[in-house]
Amino acid sequence: MSSLSDIVKYCDARLNIGAIEDAEGACNGLQFQNSGKISKIAAAVDVSLETIEKVIAIDANLLIVHHGLFWGKTMPITENIYEKYKLLVGHDIAVYSCHLPLDAHMDIGNNICMAKLFGLTNVTQVFEYHGVKIGVMGDKLIQRSQLKALLATTFSHVIAMEFGPENIEKIGIISGGSGSLIVQAKNYGVDAVIVGECQQYHYNVVRENNINAYICGHYATETFGVEALGKEVAQKFSLSFEFICTECPL
C-alpha cells in the first residue's frame, strides 16, 4: 500500500501542473479521492464508464488519465455521470488527471514519447498553444512512403495528406486534437507533421502550405504519456500497474 497524498504530491511536482494554461475546466491533478491508500495503479486516456469498469475488473484503486472527469461548464450529476461517480465511490477508486502538461512534458509526455519511438534526433519544443509550446520537432532522414509505413506499425489507421517534399528531414509531432496547430508547421521548417486529429478545412491548410501531414487518431496519439506516467509512478511507489485500452477508433 502507498499513500494517495504522497503519490499526488509526486505527480504534481513531476508534471508541474500549474505551469501551463489548459482548457477551461480541465482541472489537472487529483480529481477524485479515495480513502487514502493505493494498492494498484491503472492508466487510461479517458475516465469513461468502460474504463472504470475495467479498473474494477483488475482491482486497481488509482486511475491516472489524460482526459479527466471535468471539461467546460458544470454538468449535473445524473445518468452516465452519476454512474461514474457511483462506481468510483463504491470501489474506492481515486482519479488523477493531467491534460496539456502531459502533452508538453519533455520526459514522459505524449509527443516526446512518440519522438523517441520514431527515432527523431535533436528534438526541441514547438507548436504554441496559449503561449506555451506543447509539441515537438526533430530530425529524421526518411522518405514519405517510409514514414507512412513506420506510422502504420504503431497506429491502426493513418490518414496521409502528402503535399510536402518526398524526402523528409524534419518532423513535427502534436498529439490529440491538434489540427489547428498544423498551420505553424511551415514557420518551423517542418517537412512532415504527425497529429492526432484534424477538421475538414485543414486539408486546404496542408495543401496550400506544401506540408506532409499524417493523422493518426486523437485517442491513439495520447496513449503514450499517460502510460509512461503510470509506469513511472508505480515503479516509484513499488506498486503494480496496468494500462487500460479501449476500442476508441477516433
Backbone angles phi, psi at 121, to 5 degrees: -120, 165
Beta strands in 47-120 (DSSP E): 62-67, 94-97
**Residue 38, H or E segment:** strand 37-38
| Domain shared by 108 and 217, yes or no | yes
Number of domains in the chain: 2
Domain assignment of residue 28, given as a range: 2-99+223-240
Nearest-angstrom CA–CA distance, 152 and 71: 31
Question: Is residue 245 included in any domain, yes or no?
Answer: no
Question: Is residue 247 included in any domain, yes or no?
Answer: no
Question: Is residue 248 included in any domain, yes or no?
Answer: no
Chain centre distance of CA 26: 14
| Domain shared by 183 and 217, yes or no | yes
Question: Is residue 31 included in any domain, yes or no?
Answer: yes
User: CB of 102 within 8 A of CB of 15?
Assistant: yes
Strand, coil or helix: what is 110? Answer: helix
For cell 472527469, the residue is 69
Which CATH number fits the domain that encloses residue 177?
3.40.1390.30
| Domain shared by 132 and 235, yes or no | no
Strand, coil or helix: what is 10? Answer: helix
pLDDT in tens, the chain (250 residues): 899 999 999 999 999 988 887 777 788 999 999 999 999 999 999 999 999 999 999 999 999 999 999 887 778 888 988 999 999 999 999 999 999 999 999 999 999 999 999 999 999 999 988 778 899 999 999 999 999 999 999 999 999 999 999 999 999 999 998 778 888 888 899 999 999 999 898 999 999 999 999 999 999 999 999 999 999 999 999 999 999 999 899 9
